Structure 1
Amino acid sequence: MRVLVTGANGYIGRSVVAALRAAGHEPVAMVRTPGTDVTGAREVRIADLLDIDSLRLAVQEVDAVCHLAGLTRARQSFAEALRYVRVNVGGTIALLDAMSSADVRRMVFASTGSIYGTPDQQPMNEELPDSPPHPYASSKLAAELAIEAQARGGNLAATVVRIANIAGGADPDPTRLVPRTLVAAAAGTPLAVNGDGTAVRDYLHVRDAAAAFVACIEHLPLEGQAVRYNIGSGHGTSIMDVIEAVERATGRRVALERRPPANEPACLINDPSKAIAEIGWSPQHSTIDEIVRDAWSASVALL
């Protein structure tokens, strides 16, 4: 299958392109910057979510779209709410319009488990009500609703993937916990920790995330339907667990700078059992030790 991957030059996008190629598909990379090389891509196309004419060219002669492009920083979204709506919602609608014009009727959309907010039920399954806690999550939910509306009109077969915290490999975002902790270990600088470090999150290896997108492309519903899967490891890992895994992987102690507790959820874990049962996917590389070892190896390789 020829699959257009939007956001193909991103952290997840590059892994999705590689996974599609390894599974025998023909990934077409959509990027914004001319001259960008994406390893494994059959072709690179230049387009922007806010430029409908470029999108209409990008979606020509493809069988499906993996839509990963968009803005993703929750804290930033509070200050730039309208920008997040413009890109994540408006850009998705423009992409749907371009796909409709080109008669492309298959889509897998990268969304976020943060849409559930902070439910008492953990792990979180697909039956929980939506309660987006920030503009980023709200923009992803609005994009989901646009996709589901297009599917219900009979014009699309769509899968929405609500992803946990991606980690492992060469993560370019220094604000995320695993890269921050590795930098602290390598540089011997203190790691700022809010409270006692017991906040729990679900960490998913980027390779497992990419494999989930391939499985979704290969198990799309019928046209006129939209399905949703929570993709995660299904296990919780605390901040202190991450720190201990970094110390094991690097052989170095991580000094801590204790800060007051933050107003944040105590525990957020995705329940992937529906995806495991229906599309034959399961996390293979998402223990915290494997994630951290892989991230450490990638960072050492860049030194």
Structure 2
Amino acid sequence: MRVLVTGANGYLGQAVVNLLGRAGHEPIAMVRESVSPSHAAARVADLLDDAALREALDGVEAVCHLAGLTRARESAAEPLRYFRVNTGGTVALLEAMSAAGVSRIVFASTGSIYGTPVRQPMTESLPDAPPHPYAASKLAAEWAIHAYAGTGRLSATVLRLMNVASGADPDPTRLIPRTFAAALNGSALEVNGDGSAVRDYLHIDDAAAAFVACLERTPPGEFGRYIVGSGRGSSILEVVAAVERRTGRRIQLIHRPPAPEPAALISDPAKAASELGWFPRHSDLESIVRDMSQVARDDERRKSR
């Protein structure tokens, strides 16, 4: 299958492109700049450039849509930018797909749409309660996809991803990269409260595998939504301890005042397992930390040369 991957130069986008190729598909990387992941043809286009989008979709059979803005705190300061890119960009992509006759999409959404549900682990039956503009913009994009799928002209799958981790995670604001940086640099790690907040971390390889499973397992002409996570929770202190074990270095903690955030956010990926045949095979904390440790040490060696 010829699959256009938007956001293909991103952290997850590169993993999806590589896995599609290994699975026997023909991935086409849609990027905003000319540098593209290896093993994929590249087409340069912006989500908000209608003409470029139509050219990028030429000859394509399906789309994995990962392009967008992803930082929750930034979205609070720039909400209109997030809606323009995440929601408006998705609508523009759907219009271009319609014009090109492309009728299959897998959309990267976020588990943060559920907000702070009391019931844990979280399932697809929970009500939506987006806590910030980032989640709201993704939910609005989901609504657009669902509405268009309702016309019968689109087969669509939405993946609400939990905290994707491991590999060469470039986001220094995320907990696990920050923890590795503290261990390797000898700097202190600032945490909110007592470090007991629990999150669900999803190995990037498992996240990429979910996109491939959707393309291969979802019947044409249907709409589906799945929460994709490890089904396990790890506290901040557990993450710190795992990184300390892996690096052999102690990490100094600075405890800041508690933030107004959920005590625990854990997924129940049973629906994805039963309907897609997808399982989180690499998403235990030790595997995530082990794989990220190798990348972090390689970076440290390169910088020391």
The residue type equivalent to 2:106 in the other structure is: V
Shift of 1:165: 0.1
- Name 1:71's counterpart in structure 2: 69
CA distance in 2, matches of 1:39, 1:45: 13
CA distance in 1, matches of 2:247, 2:191: 19
Kept after mapping to 2: 8 A contact 1:159/1:221: no
* Unpaired runs of at least 5, structure 1: none
CA distance in 2, matches of 1:145, 1:219: 22
Output aligned runs, 1:184-223, within 5 Å.
Answer: 184-223=182-221
- Name 1:138's counterpart in structure 2: 136
Shift of 1:213: 0.6
Output aligned runs, 1:188-267, within 5 Å.
Answer: 188-223=186-221, 225-267=222-264
CA distance in 1, matches of 2:183, 2:64: 36
Find the residue that maps to 1:186 and give its secondary structure: helix
CA distance in 1, matches of 2:229, 2:39: 25
- Name 1:271's counterpart in structure 2: 268
The residue type equivalent to 1:20 in the other structure is: L
CA distance in 1, matches of 2:127, 2:93: 27
CA distance in 2, matches of 1:39, 1:240: 37
TM-score by length of 2: 0.97
Kept after mapping to 1: 8 A contact 2:179/2:240: yes
- Name 1:108's counterpart in structure 2: 106
CA distance in 1, matches of 2:124, 2:39: 33
CA distance in 1, matches of 2:43, 2:276: 29
Match of 1:92 among 90, 93, 104: 90
Shift of 1:235: 0.5
Find the residue that maps to 1:227 and give its secondary structure: strand
* Unpaired runs of at least 5, structure 2: 301-305
CA distance in 2, matches of 1:174, 1:251: 21
Find the residue that maps to 1:155 and give its secondary structure: coil
Kept after mapping to 2: 8 A contact 1:71/1:87: yes
Shift of 1:70: 0.2
Say if 2:125 is the partner of 1:127. Answer: yes
Kept after mapping to 1: 8 A contact 2:104/2:220: no
- Name 2:29's counterpart in structure 1: 29
- Name 1:290's counterpart in structure 2: 287
CA distance in 2, matches of 1:266, 1:258: 16
The residue type equivalent to 1:206 in the other structure is: I
Shift of 1:220: 2.2
Map Cα deviations across residues 100-132 of structure 1 (whole Å, 9 max, x no partner): 001000000000000011001111100010000
CA distance in 2, matches of 1:28, 1:12: 15
Kept after mapping to 2: 8 A contact 1:85/1:139: yes
Map Cα deviations across residues 21-67 of structure 1 (whole Å, 9 max, x no partner): 11110000000002x131121x1000001111110011110110000
Find the residue that maps to 1:290 and give its secondary structure: helix
TM-score by length of 1: 0.98
- Name 2:10's counterpart in structure 1: 10
